Amino acid sequence: MEPRSVPTSVDAEESRVTTADGTSLRVLSRRADPGAVDLPPLVLVHGLASNCRMWDGAAAHFRRHGVTTVAVDLRGHGRSDKPDHGYDFDTVCDDVVSVVDWLGVERAVVVGQSWGGNVVVHLAHRRPDRVHGVVAVDGGMIELGRTFEHWDDCARVMRPPALAGMRAGRLEAAIRASNGDWPETGINGTLANFEHLDDGTIRPWLSLDRHLAILRHLWEHRPSRLFADVERPVLFVPADSGDVSWTRGKEAAIDEALRLLPRARAHWFRPAHHDVHAQHPERFAEVVLSHLRDGFLTGAHE
């Protein structure tokens, strides 16, 4: 397969958002027609080593149904700035608040996947004044410290593969072979996790040292200690990959979260990939839309 550049997202407007510490973040916004529906905008937050293009399919569906979205490349990722600091949860949450500010609204519904799911739950605890509700996509309850007693073990097992220097065509062939049921938006979103160089090779946008810095903060993160004090509604959208033991652990974590959180729901995708929002963008968007329309994520049940 010949290497190619990742197609641009033609239905989105690309902008820059400056955070409190001066970091510039790339955002892709899809603004619905004014007055289309009376639903709050969505801020879409990707997972570790991912990027804002993973939301393309879901965001397009939201827009068709009258909901404005803005997807962000978090610091160190994609086409955003890559400082050597600020990868702790508090700073990343403040970055997301900067995106809400840029939208010009007091509050938004924030949607995060994997590490991003933990970020949005942390945000609901840290800044409930800027959040209507949160959606945690196969995340939000991740506690690597329960799985790995020691950080060195976590770093060794969870260390990302060394992909820098791979031919872009080989990468694309591998992605397509392992994700045969994915739409093109999901394939292109995954390809956009990498910088495509002029010599036909790729390298991850997120450097190894920054990847490990975020992983360390994720290993230390304990969202279960926050749940009882999270005022805003939380919708979990976990994925059952078919790995029985892994799924059982995830089910236990979700059940614990539902017990501890004042307002929480869960909607499972079975079977589904960890990147369920990219694999099934329209189905995923419809789940979120249903919880927006019934008032759960907008706080109408308060």
pLDDT in tens, 42-61: 999 999 999 999 999 999 99
Q: What pLDDT was estimated at residue 2?
A: 35
The single residue listed with the structure tokens 């939380």 is 234
Q: How confident is the model at residue 107 (pLDDT cuts 50, 70, 90)?
A: very high
Amino acid at 283: R
Residues 13-293: name the CATH superfamily: Alpha/Beta hydrolase fold, catalytic domain (3.40.50.1820)
The single residue listed with the structure tokens 């997120």 is 206
Residue 299 φ/ψ region, left for φ over 0, alpha for ψ in the -120 to 50 degree band, beta for the rest: left
Q: How far apart are the first and last CA of the chain?
A: 54
Q: What pLDDT was estimated at residue 17?
A: 98
Beta-carbon contacts of 1 under 8 Å, excluding residues fewer than 6 positions away, are 169, 170, 172, 173
Q: Which of 10-19, 26-35, 168-177 has the lowest mean pLDDT?
A: 26-35
Give domain limits for the chain: 13-293
Q: What tokens were used for 283?
A: 């189905």
